Amino acid sequence: MSETAERVVSTIQHPAHVHFFRNAIGELEDRGYDVHVFAREKDLVRDLLEAYDIEYRTLAAEPGNLYELAKVQAKYEYEVIRRTRELEPAALMAIAEPSITHASRVSGGRSVLFTDTEHATVQNLLAFPFSDVICTPDSFRDDLGSNHVRYSGYHELAYLHPDRFSPDPTVLDRIGADADETLVVLRLVSWTAAHDVGKDGLQEVEPLVERLEAAGCRVVISAEAALPPSLADREVSVPPHRIHDLLSHADLLIGESGTMTIESALLGTPAMFVSPFSAGVLTELEDRYGLVFSRSETETPADLSRLATTIVAADPAIWQRRRRALLEEKIDTTAFIVHAVEQVIDA
C-alpha cells in the first residue's frame, strides 16, 4: 500500500457491523484506500473478522454486565481517538457509534455514520451532533437534519443482496436436517446492550419449543447466553458466518433480534419478531412487504405457536414473491456505503 493512499477508519462493535462493512472494506481496498479496522470484543466479532480475513485491532474487552459498559466504552473511545489522531484518515465510518464521530473532530477526517435504530437513544444523542453525514434507510422514522441522507435499502442488504450472497444448502447436512423438515430457528439475545436496560424478550422459551415440536417442527436455537439444560441439545452448531445459509433454508425465524429478523425476511424466510422494541425498518417489512410479524414479549407460548404453525403451513411461494417485490425496490447497500465514503473524501 502506498504511503500516500487515502486512509479510511472503520469501527466494529457488534457482529452485525462485520457483515455490514465487510464488502465495503474489500471494495475500498480494491480502489486503493488504506482501510484500518478497530474492534471491541462482542460475542462473535473476532470469529467473523477472522472468517472473512479482515485485518483488525481489538481496542477493548467485552463488558461483563451493563454496569461495566460505561467504563469499557470510555477506554474504547480513548483508544479510538488516540489511534485515529495518529493515522489522520480522510474518512471514518461506523454504525451509530459516538467514538468515531468524536475521533473525526480531532483527526481532521470526515465521519460517515450509518444507523437504522431509532430507539438507540443514548448512542444517537452522543453521536449525531458530531457526525458529518448520517445515513439511514428511507424507512427510518426520524428526521436528523441537513446532514441526513436516506437511501432505499437496509443495512442487511450490504451482505444479503442477491449480488452479494448465495445460500449454501449443505448447511442442512451440518445440523442433520432434511430438506423436507419444517425448520424453525429460534434466536435469543443477551439483553446487555445499552438500549436494552429494563427490557426483556421471550418469557417462556421451553413451553414454546415444546408446542412447536408437538406441531411437527424441528427447532434449532441460536443464543447469545447459555441455554437451560433442557434446551442445550437444540443449540445450533454452525459457524457464525454460516447463519445466513441456515436462515435461508429455514421455514420460519422466531427471534428477539431485530437484525436477524430483518436478515431472515430479506432471505425470503418469514420472521416473527418478539420484542418490546420497534423500528421503521421492521414496520416497513411487516406493513409493506408482509415478511415480518411483530408480537409482544408478553404473548403466551400458545399464541406464539398458533401463529407460527399458521405461517409454516402457508405456501412457501408466497414469501418468495414478497421477497422479489422488495428486491425490485431496494438497492445494494454496499455500493451506497462506498459511494458515501468517497463523497465525503472528495467534498
Whole-model pTM: value is: 0.91
* pLDDT of amino acid 190: 65
- Position with higher pLDDT, 324 vs 201: 324
Say which residue the cell 448465495 belongs to: 166
Topology agreement, domain 7-162+332-346 and domain 171-329: yes
* pLDDT of amino acid 145: 93
> Hey, CA dihedral for 136, 138, 143, 146, is it positive or negative?
positive
User: pLDDT band for position 200 (50/70/90)?
Assistant: low
Grouping H, G, I as helix, E, B as strand and the rest as coil, residue 149 is strand
* pLDDT of amino acid 196: 38
Residue-wise pLDDT for 62-73, tens only, equals 777 767 777 888
Q: In the predicted model, is pLDDT for residue 130 greater than 80?
A: yes
Average pLDDT for the chain: 91
Grouping H, G, I as helix, E, B as strand and the rest as coil, residue 23 is helix
Residue-wise pLDDT for 154-176, tens only, equals 999 999 999 999 999 999 999 99
Q: In the predicted model, is pLDDT for residue 302 greater than 80?
A: yes
213/156 Cα distance (integer angstroms):
30
Contact 138, 148 (CB under 8 A): no
Q: Classify burial at 324, counting beta carbons within 10 Å of its beta carbon; exposed 0-12, middle 13-18, buried 19 or more.
A: exposed
How crowded is residue 197: how many other Cβ atoms within 10 Å of its Cβ? 11
Q: In the predicted model, is pLDDT for residue 194 greater than 50?
A: no
DSSP assignment, residue 257?
A: -
* pLDDT of amino acid 119: 77
Q: In the predicted model, is pLDDT for residue 122 greater than 80?
A: no
Contact 9, 92 (CB under 8 A): yes
Question: What average pLDDT does the segment 284-308 reach?
Answer: 95
Contact 246, 264 (CB under 8 A): no
Domain spans of the chain, in order of start: 7-162+332-346, 171-329
Question: What average pLDDT does the segment 279-286 reach?
Answer: 97
CATH 3.40.47.10 describes domain 171-329: no
Pick the CATH number of 7-162+332-346 from 3.20.20.140, 1.10.1270.20, 3.40.50.2000, 1.10.730.10: 3.40.50.2000
Contact 263, 257 (CB under 8 A): no
